[in-house]
Amino acid sequence: MAEITLIAHLLNQTLSPDATAVHTSTSELDRLSVAPHFPFHLLSISAGGENQGQKIAAATYLKNHTRRNVDSTGATPSNVSKEFKDQLMQALLRVEFPVLKILVEVFRIVAAADFVKHSLWPELVPNLQSAIQNSHLINGSNSTWNTINALIVLHALLRPFQYFLNPKVPKEPVPPQLELVSKEILVPLLGVFHQFVGKAVANHDTADREMEKAILTICKCLHFAVKSYMPSTLAPLLNSLSRDLMSILSCLSFDCTVTQEDVYLTRWKSGKRSLLIFSSLVTRHRKHSDKLMPDIINCALNIVKFSKHTSILPFLLERILSLGFDVISNVLETGPGWRLVSPHFTTLLESAIFPALVMNEKDMSEWEEDADEYIRKNLPSDIDEICGWREDLFTSRKSAVNLLGVISMSKGPPMETSIDSLSAKRKKGQKKQKKAISAVLWGSYWCFLFCLNFPFLLIPTCLKKKVPK
């Protein structure tokens, strides 16, 4: 008891404005960190400290302590005791959100080393499943376990699976750990997700903050689960999942502004994550998404038609528009893409793509403020250069330009060509070249015919340069 009191006092000293006191207390904490019960004391203070500052300081020190003592490469297990893991799970389900954001990093480090890399920690999935099923939004308000906390822990557990664990292995199978999480947690959670979405859509004018956060966190979990792999137990449920995601997108409002605290901001984030899931399904899992593509296209078309309001939309809604264009581009690049998208080309060009390209007052102000930044945001660039840290480079205009390029380069439907006696004598290479050219020009012809609806700038005769003979 005396040791935990001393550690709590030293943590308070680390918050002091006096640099000497901070240095002295940090050195003393480093000396105490070799004790076997030191992580337990930090966890205890994180969950039940005197004030939030002390709790955050304890959680931060525990996170840094875990990083120093656990191999980040996953070559060896963490050697963290079962007792500490159990106490960590209990703390994660009860702490406040500012502390949870830090403690979940401790969980992620240990889970990546033990569960993801070495298939250890057998109690993790059953305990997490029980925590979610018995949390307050699912089992009743009297539960001491917070649903949002449990879902955030699930999100941290699934984070490593958003990328291939062995990218050098061709056609890497779904890891058994992800299959286990999908079977025991994600599949039962889809029923809860359907109920939450139904309530959120029905009560659109009186959105519940906690329920919206739960929907967003479940969307994040599902996105990580299908971004690279497709768990076998999740694939048969994609149809019902897609309907729920489309319900979220159908109730988004593009004609209102919100503050950071508004619950509708969370719904916009859920809509953004829904479009990311659709992009992953189309680009990574064609086998399972072909039947869903017509509905996905109609959903994306209903979103991109708001591109005419780009100048007055907040960043997050513009990002949703950008993803809508990207989903259509991804579908168009697939085998059945032309058949699904070509009937909507005229509507796309008139009501979505060209309105996004028109100059507006926002363009003028951004150009005057920083011309270089404006060029970087609006001119086409290599998409690989954009990372998650610079999402501001994803604009609806760039995505609209990309979609216009995909349309113009589309080969069109397969054509049957008759071969007469004269063409039969031509070389085989010439026939293939002619067939390729005629196929490639279909999308270009479509765009060119649409552009003929607009007047062209005519150069006066007096300004034309005389070409010497």
- Residues of the chain with pLDDT > 90, as a percent, come to 56
Res. 345 pLDDT band, cuts 50 70 90: confident
| Residue corresponding to tokens 């809604």 | 317
Res. 380 pLDDT band, cuts 50 70 90: low
pLDDT at 156 over 80: yes
CA angle, 58 as apex, 53 and 60 as ends, to 5°? Answer: 95
Average pLDDT over residues 380-385: 50
CA separation for the pair 218, 206 (Å, rounded) = 21
CB atoms within 10 A of CB 181: 26
Res. 366 pLDDT band, cuts 50 70 90: confident
As a residue count, the chain comes to 469
Res. 446 pLDDT band, cuts 50 70 90: low
Tell me the residue type at 415. M
Residue 441 has a pLDDT of: 55
pLDDT in tens, 417-434: 444 444 444 444 454 554
Res. 384 pLDDT band, cuts 50 70 90: very low
Res. 337 pLDDT band, cuts 50 70 90: confident
As a whole number, the mean pLDDT across the chain is 85
Least confident of 16-25, 141-150, 372-381: 372-381
pTM of the entire structure?
Answer: 0.86
CA separation for the pair 141, 348 (Å, rounded) = 47
Q: Dig out the tokens for 277 from the structure.
A: 């899931």
pLDDT in tens, 165-211: 888 888 899 999 999 999 999 999 999 999 999 999 988 777 788 99
| Residue corresponding to tokens 């809508």 | 324
Q: Where are the beta strands (DSSP E) in 293-361?
A: none
Residue 385 has a pLDDT of: 43
pLDDT in tens, 251-262: 988 876 666 567
pLDDT at 443 over 70: no
User: Do 131 and 150 form a contact (C-beta atoms < 8 A)?
Assistant: yes
